[in-house]
Amino acid sequence: IEGHEHEEIARMLGCSVGTSKSQLHKARMKLRGLLRQQKVKD
């Protein structure tokens, strides 16, 4: 994903730019939560 434009990612995934941005946001939020949980365990 790094280095790619939103339009390019959407085209690769076969979805709209809005959907691509939304999915990226959800993935970042999930990763952030997982990293916080890991930090609490350490």
Q: What percent of the chain has pLDDT over 90?
A: 81
State the chain's mean pLDDT as an integer.
93
Q: How far apart are CA 11 and CA 16, in angstroms?
A: 8
Q: What percent of the chain has pLDDT over 70?
A: 98
Taking CB atoms within 8 Å and a gap of at least 24, the contacts of 13-21 are none
pLDDT at res. 2:
84
Average pLDDT over residues 8-27: 96
pTM of the full structure: 0.76
pLDDT at res. 9:
94
Could you report the per-residue pLDDT of 23-37, keeping only the tens digit for each?
999 999 999 999 999
* Three-state helix/strand/coil letters over 1-42: CCCCCHHHHHHHHCCCHHHHHHHHHHHHHHHHHHHHHHHHHC
